[in-house]
Amino acid sequence: MEESHQVKAQSSLEYLLIVALTFAIIVPTTYLFYNYSRESSQEITDAQITKLGRSIVDSAESIFYSGQGSKIVLELNIPDSVYSALIIDGRELVFNVTTTFGVSEIVFFSSVNITTPSQNCNANVCRIPELGNSGLKKVRIEAAAKDNVRIEVI
């Protein structure tokens, strides 16, 4: 009788060890996968913002050198993490982005003066409020004057 209790105890212990070993493998693997997917998501968002920022600045430079009255309309998909866009000193396009580490700025430098409609400007900072909302946006880039290019969401 005592021997059957030992067999049952041994098989129960073996079962518990198998379950513990399974958890010891699954829990760290799940954690690593979660971190990897979160980092990948952030890298994808950064790449999207870099692409749209470069697209705006490159188009502005191209339109500027095409001459006054030239314009183009871009369709841009703004990621969810972008919460504002600014033009500083007419040469810097800045996207404020929420990340897992907090708020960061992604800055693009233009070789030509860029601006927005005057009602969105205060001193040397021009806001582009519509680029702070996620989704598909149409952006008109126009050589408005001989010395600058206007960026406007339509």
DSSP code per residue over 75-123:
EEEE-TTEEEEEEETTTEEEEEEEETTEEEEEEEE-SS-EE--GGGEET
Residue type present at position 112:
V
Q: In a structure prediction context, what are the per-residue pLDDT tens digits for the chain, which is 154 residues long?
A: 566 777 777 888 888 999 999 999 999 999 998 888 878 888 888 899 999 999 999 999 999 999 888 999 999 999 988 989 999 998 999 999 988 788 899 999 999 999 988 777 888 899 998 888 889 999 999 998 778 899 999 8
Average pLDDT of the chain to the nearest whole number = 89
The DSSP secondary-structure symbol of 130 reads G
- Percentage, residues of the chain above pLDDT 90: 53
pLDDT computed for residue 139 by the predictor: 94
Closest CA to 53 of 13, 10, 97: 97
Count the residues in the chain: 154
How confident is the model over 39-66, as pLDDT tens digits? 888 888 889 999 999 999 999 999 999 9
pLDDT computed for residue 37 by the predictor: 82
Q: State CA 29 to chain mean position distance.
A: 27
| 78 and 131 Cβ atoms separated by less than 8 Å | yes
pLDDT computed for residue 8 by the predictor: 78
